[in-house]
Amino acid sequence: MSSAAHGTSTSAVEVTNISQHGFWLLLKEEELFLPFAEFPWFRDVTVGKILHVELASPNHLYWPDLDVDLSVESIRHPAQFPLISQA
């Protein structure tokens, strides 16, 4: 039996909601929104590929099915990290 209480997330990162505009991540106790306008790599992919996210390090997220890795700071402050790709 798990020591985690019911309703307690045991994952360090979890996608909590997806809309037509973007998706929300729960990272430890912080909720972050990734709008598709700022993060176009996620716009036309399956839900399963968005949900499969890993916390590679405390400040680094990785979507292995998409080969997308992002620093947490680029999600918090996307204007400071202009896109190189015109995807």
Question: What does pTM read for this prediction?
Answer: 0.79
Q: Is the residue at 48 inside a domain? A: yes
On whether residue 57 sits in a domain, the answer given is yes
DSSP 78: G
The range of the structural domain enclosing residue 50 comes to: 13-80
Asked whether 62 and 53 are in contact (CB, 8 A), the reply is yes
Q: What is the pLDDT of residue 2?
A: 38
The CATH number linked to 17 is: 3.30.2020
Distance CA 17, CA 14 (A): 9
Residue 72 CA neighbour count, 13 Å, CB half:
16
* Domain count across the chain: 1
Q: What is the predicted pLDDT for the residue at 4?
A: 40
Report the length, in residues, of the chain.
87
Query: Is position 56 within any domain?
Result: yes
Residue 7 lies in a domain: no
**85 within a domain of the structure (yes/no):** no
Give me the tens of pLDDT residue by residue for the chain, a chain 87 residues long. Answer: 434 444 444 568 999 999 999 999 999 889 999 999 999 999 999 999 999 999 999 899 999 999 999 999 999 988 888 765 444
In a domain, 19, yes or no: yes
Distance (Å, rounded) from C-alpha 87 to C-alpha 72? 20
pLDDT of residue 9: 45
